[in-house]
Structures are given as structure tokens and as C-alpha cells.
């Protein structure tokens, strides 16, 4: 099936990645996590709102005993970063001594992830790793050790598969980039 250009608010978006390409990347990430965490019981920490589809699909492929929790953080006010990560919906679980895997839809500047890693490491987990579906390496402004990266992409604004443009587009199974 051929994908076509879509309109969201005042912008046009062209097809970028198909649902099958995304599924392949998610399965590959899950395979790496299954190997690396054999014999362990990780706690997945999904960052809302964007990672909900990625988290759901990834966990369907995880073949380990595991748990998942959800947090919501923000480092943006409007369209610019404040440089400070603030919890909107916080972590309820005790994480000391546990293996944590943060699930994020996209890492671009790295501001949010840097702050989140600092906050989680302060709670003394056994380990903290990041699994991100998308990474924009040319946007990264912090040195981050990202162990699990689904796809490295250019600095294009994308929507779909959990990512949105002012609230729209999260429900799309494919990913589109702004034209």
C-alpha cells in the first residue's frame, strides 16, 4: 500500500518510515535486551506521552520476567527548553538496587534524558540504561551513553507512532516527516 502526504494543523507531512520498518527496529531492540538481561528482571520506565506505542510493542517482544511503569517529565515550555527537567507524573516504584531501562520515543537535544538519568541515578538503582526508538545525533547537546538505539535519523520533524505535532498524529502507525 502506498502512503500519501497528510495534513496536521498547518503543516504537510510526507511518508518517512512504514509500520513494518518500525516493527523491525523494535524487534531488534527487544532481541538485544533479551540477550543482555537474561537472568535479570528489569523495570522498564516508559516516558509519556510519546513512548506509549514503542513501550507496548517492545514489551510484547520481551521474553524476560519484567515490570513496566510510566513517568511524565517536561523540560520544555512552549517550543523551547527550560534546561530543567520537572516531573509531571512521577515514579511510584522503589528502584534502589533494580535494573532500569528507560523507554523513550526520541532523543534529540538530550536535555530531558540527561536530567532524567541524573534523577534516576540518585535513587541508587543497580543499573540504568536507555532504549530509544529514534535518535537525532546531529541535535544531541549532551554526552549520553545510549545503549539501545532503534534508528538514527536526521534532524527532521517527525510525527506518528506516538510522536505528535501539537497533539495530532500520535495514532498513526507509520512515521511522517514535515515537508
C-alpha grid cell, residue 171: 495514532
- Cα-based distances in Å from 29 to 44, 101, 103, 158: 13, 12, 11, 20
Alpha-helical regions (H) of 7-163? 19-36, 52-61, 111-121
How many of the other CB atoms lie within 10 Å of CB of 66? 16
178, β-bridge pairs: 13
Residues 10, 108, 145, 164: which is the catalytic one? 108
Give, to the nearest 10 degrees, the angle between helix 19-36 and helix 52-61: 60
Question: Any catalytic annotation for residue 108?
Answer: yes
89 φ/ψ sector (left φ>0, alpha ψ -120 to 50, else beta): beta
C-alpha grid cell, residue 97: 538496587
The residues assigned a catalytic role are 108
Amino acid at each position: 500500500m502506498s502512503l500519501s502526504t497528510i495534513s496536521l494543523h498547518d503543516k504537510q507531512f510526507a511518508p518517512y518510515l512504514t509500520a513494518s520498518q518500525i516493527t523491525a527496529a523494535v524487534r531488534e531492540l527487544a532481541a538485544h535486551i533479551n540477550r543482555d538481561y537474561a537472568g535479570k528482571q528489569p523495570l522498564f520506565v516508559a516516558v509519556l506521552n510519546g513512548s506509549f506505542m514503542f513501550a507496548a510493542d517492545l514489551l510484547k517482544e520481551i521474553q524476560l520476567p519484567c515490570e513496566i511503569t510510566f513517568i511524565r517529565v517536561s523540560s520544555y515550555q512552549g517550543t523551547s527548553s527550560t534546561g530543567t527537567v520537572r516531573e509531571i507524573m512521577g515514579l511510584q516504584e522503589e528502584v534502589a538496587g533494580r535494573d532500569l531501562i528507560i523507554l523513550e520515543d526520541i532523543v534529540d537535544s538530550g536535555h530531558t534524558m540527561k536530567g532524567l538519568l541524573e534523577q534516576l541515578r540518585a535513587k541508587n538503582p543497580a543499573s540504568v540504561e536507555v532504549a530509544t526508538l529514534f535518535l537525532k545525533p546531529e541535535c544531541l547537546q549532551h554526552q549520553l551513553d545510549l545503549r539501545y538505539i532503534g534508528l538514527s535519523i536526521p534532524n527532521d520533524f517527525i510525527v506518528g507512532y506516538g510522536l505528535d505535532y501539537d497533539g495530532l498524529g500520535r495514532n498513526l502507525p507509520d512515521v511522517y516527516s514535515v515537508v
